Amino acid sequence: MIDGQNVWAHPYVYNGTHSFLLEYIDKCKKGEIIIGNELMLQLDILAEHFNDPEILIDFEDGHKRIKFIETKCKHFEAPFSGKPFLLELFQKAFIEAIYIFKIFDDEIDHYVRLHQDVLFLVARKNGKTPLISALCLAEFFCGELGTRILCSSNDYEQADLMFQAINAMREESKTLSKVTRSNIKGIFFGNPRKPKKRGKFSYQNKGQIKKISAKTGAKEGKNIKVGAVDEAHELADNTSVMPIRQALSTQDDPLFIELTTEGVVNDGYLDERLKEARSVLHGELERRRWLIWMYTQDSEKEVWQDEESWYKSNPGMGVIKKRSFLRKMVEEAKTSKSMRVFVMSKDFNIKQNNATAWLTTEDIKNEETFELEKFRNSFAIGAVDLSRTGDLASARVIMIDKETMKKHTFQQYFIPESKLDNLARDEIETYKQWIRDGLITVSPGNENDFSLVTAWFVKLYKDYGIRPFKVGYDKWSAIYWVKEMEGYGFDCQKVPQEYGAMSEPMRLVEADLKSDMIIYNNNPVDKYCLENTALEMNSKMEMRPVKVQGKENMKIDGAVTMIIGYKIYIDNRNEFMQLIRR
């Protein structure tokens, strides 16, 4: 009941005013709009606010900003560039939810917004950054004199995306650009060509819009009214967020907005934030002034089985985001682990543990073997992963059969003698068998002797004429070993185990293993290393190999050398292929 009337009898009207929020709630309740359970929990809470005598319902501020966005703001990117920013119902409902609920503040003796903190979680490419950018611009013009706004993110480039979106909308409008100016420091009121001494749109108004990143520093001491943090999933902790929230503390009616998709950072800032948010939605934690607006799936299973469920995490599907794009992403995710991690987290807001197994048993299974004699007097790609005292050291050569184009890899592992005593009971016998089979070379004492690695490459050349075209190595502990290798005429190339270097070769290794294009001689140590390898992704969809969570004592060095070898191959493909085709 609202003021003695049944809300659902006139579901879209409150005290004579059309409410986009009530319209949205009603259509979601009827199933006309598909949303997930977590957003429905928030909408249930908001519906109760209409019945709360302590909450004033005032549409003026919210509708003023909606009107400003639709009449003053224009899109600036294809395919909507130059077109008016006409808001979808879910966007209008979201803006209403921020502004229409007011409570009386005894400390300042007047009404303020109920919601001062906002979490907006939605899948990528649903217009979250343009929407919040437009809302910030609306707040800049519709808010009080001296409104200061800060755009922030984990890195300067991402923070700049929001700032540039705001500035582009400002420039698109003759009305807005006429009374404002921008430079590298920010956006300000006052037109330098037609300066006015007084008034909201003159130099007298010291309002401003600026940008910072988590890496910028000097965040303390800013006095702002609106703080917007983009891509919160990339933050490792709250060290860059708390100064912004503290800077809002002097305001009577501050607004702090976090907008994000789900992330691939394990145990990061967003993980803790979402844990708190879900506790609030389920009534386990009191955060009355926090608006939690999350577009999430109810399960991963429904993503694969029901396309209509995609609306739960993609409210702009069909208008902002193409269904065909999503369908393509889902199809690719079915065959690629790395793509599945990215698509589930970024397109469907389903958190992925990116330190789970990279490959399945079927991906790794390949019992084909070969004799080195097959590649006598051949060129190869070399790769090493050197560890002085900890993990296995691994050395590898990769040869390509120019008829089948299959990559044949031969490898050797190295371990310090003292490390054998520290192995678990179930591992000792396995390692001893690998040593007896000649798969692992034992270095006397507590450290790996890298000269044994060099000797292995030299022996391959002397016995079979197999010469590495280039040898890839990680920079760890490799300075003197590289000099030794170069003394024998080997060309060594550094391959750091970082996202940028590891991502492309790791994808190709995955694809080649799945299509049986890698023949690793059914080496059990290789299998062991591949089974222990997980993929870790960043927000750019770049990946690198790490150990599977819970298997920190296991070894992945063989997988690493396979990836390093592929990096050398990719970087030198044309020249290497010319050599083997002679």
pTM confidence score? 0.78
Q: Average per-residue pLDDT in the chain?
A: 90
164-205 pLDDT per residue, tens: 999 999 999 889 999 999 998 899 999 877 777 788 888 888
Q: Which tokens in the block code for residue 479?
A: 């300075």
Query: Cα(152)–Cα(275) distance, rounded to whole angstroms?
Result: 22
Percent of the chain's residues with pLDDT above 70: 94
Lowest-confidence segment of 26-40, 79-93, 137-151, 376-390 by average pLDDT: 376-390
Query: Cα(392)–Cα(420) distance, rounded to whole angstroms?
Result: 11
At residue 355, the pLDDT reads 62
Lowest-confidence segment of 315-319, 338-342, 440-444, 479-483 by average pLDDT: 338-342
At residue 552, the pLDDT reads 67
* Span 556-573, average pLDDT: 96
539-556 pLDDT per residue, tens: 778 889 998 876 667 889
80-131 pLDDT per residue, tens: 888 899 999 999 999 999 999 999 999 989 999 999 999 999 999 999 999 9
At residue 153, the pLDDT reads 78
* Span 351-369, average pLDDT: 82
At residue 220, the pLDDT reads 43
H helix runs in 114-186, sequence order: 128-142, 156-172, 174-178
pLDDT higher than 90, residue 513? yes
H helix runs in 308-379, sequence order: 323-333, 337-346, 361-364
Lowest-confidence segment of 2-16, 38-52, 294-308 by average pLDDT: 2-16
Most distant CA pair in the chain: distance in Å? 95
Yes or no: say if 379 and 397 are a contact pair by the CB < 8 Å rule. no
Query: Where residue 3 falls among pLDDT bands split at 50, 70, 90?
Result: very low
More confident site: 582 or 573: 573
Compute φ and ψ for 357, nearest 5 degrees.
-55, 135
Query: Where residue 422 falls among pLDDT bands split at 50, 70, 90?
Result: confident
Question: What 3-state DSSP class applies to 122?
Answer: coil
At residue 7, the pLDDT reads 47
At residue 354, the pLDDT reads 56
More confident site: 202 or 35: 35
Query: Cα(399)–Cα(407) distance, rounded to whole angstroms?
Result: 6
Domains of the chain, with CATH numbers? Answer: 7-296 (3.40.50.300), 361-580 (3.30.420.240)
At residue 198, the pLDDT reads 80
At residue 476, the pLDDT reads 67
450-488 pLDDT per residue, tens: 999 999 999 999 999 999 999 999 876 688 899 999 999
pLDDT higher than 90, residue 397? yes
Q: Dihedral sign for Cα 79, 81, 83, 85, please.
A: positive
53-92 pLDDT per residue, tens: 999 999 999 999 999 999 999 888 778 888 899 999 999 9
Query: Cα(41)–Cα(45) distance, rounded to whole angstroms?
Result: 6
pLDDT higher than 50, residue 14? yes
At residue 6, the pLDDT reads 47
pLDDT higher than 60, residue 1? no
Query: Cα(362)–Cα(302) distance, rounded to whole angstroms?
Result: 25
